[in-house]
Amino acid sequence: MVFEMPVHLAQGAEMFPSPERTEWVRRLPDTVRALAERWSLRLGRPYQPGGHSAWVAPARTAGGEDRVLKVAWGHYEAVDEAAGLRAWAGDGAVRVYDDHVTGSTSALLLERCDPGTSLRESVPEPAQDVVLAGLLRRLWAAPTAGFRPLQDMCDAWAREFEDRWAASPGSLDPGLARAGIALLRELPASADRRVLLCTDLHAANILAAGREPWLAIDPKPYVGDPAYDGVQHLLNCGERLAADPAGLARRLAGLLDVDPDRLVAWLFARCVQGAPGQPELGPVAAALAPAVR
């Protein structure tokens, strides 16, 4: 079979170029073939357009079981994906059957969701809120030992923001920038509850399945404040976010049974952090600012 590159994976390599990533992409066909041999898999065509950092395709084992092979470019946010899936043990998330890490490649042999359509494709956004909140409340019940604290990710993002801000000031009001990044650093330490977080759960990362109606995929596990875990979904709800960000956050906080003020504060911090690359988040941060002062 001729090797096929998913569209978004190719775009990701172009958007975030580095000699290491270019070499990883060059070697990807050989890497995929070696993993197929390792696990005795017959591979289908990769899912299109796919994600920006992984080659993912349906597979079948020598024993006839349906699986998914995920071959990912290693990045710091997702290093505990296999460990998180094992901690959840199929309760609200896909199962992981095996994993293999070598160099900058992280490979997982995963449960295949059938039919595999995403929540984003299938359900209107207000109903997505309900499904996502139900999954997160289940995922938070998993054990937390051995996982990195959310503080690590927030501190890394704050440093990245400050580097970008120094290179290109003016993309955001300076007062908003300072307040948002200060919150990004402060909020993890002030949480009164810490759980195993998915951190990247949104409607495109929830798939229809036969074993359960919906299963989460592609987690980036950290331990921290449960109020954080709804933020990525909110950031993906562009029209509702622009129209009433505080109201949207408080609605989701009610579904998650978390402190609405903390979820609003997290949303503000993440909008500030994301604004240099997503200018549409600047006005959302400005609209949220009075609610976090």
**Which tokens is 169 given?**
């000031």
Spatial separation of the C-alpha atoms in residues 242 and 205, rounded to whole Å: 22
**Which tokens is 77 given?**
């946010």
Question: Which residue in the list 80, 129, 200, 225 is annotated as catalytic?
Answer: 200
Spatial separation of the C-alpha atoms in residues 8 and 132, rounded to whole Å: 24
Spatial separation of the C-alpha atoms in residues 288 and 263, rounded to whole Å: 11
Spatial separation of the C-alpha atoms in residues 84 and 144, rounded to whole Å: 9
The sheet carrying 54-61 orders its strands as 41-43, 54-61, 66-73, 105-111, 96-102
Spatial separation of the C-alpha atoms in residues 183 and 194, rounded to whole Å: 17
Report the run of H or E that residue 67 belongs to, with start and end: strand 66-73
Cβ neighbour number for residue 44 with a 10 Å cutoff: 15
Active site residue 200: yes
36, 59 contact by CB (below 8 A): yes
Local structure of residue 16 (DSSP, 8 states): S
Query: Would you please indicate which residues are annotated as catalytic (active-site) residues?
Result: 200
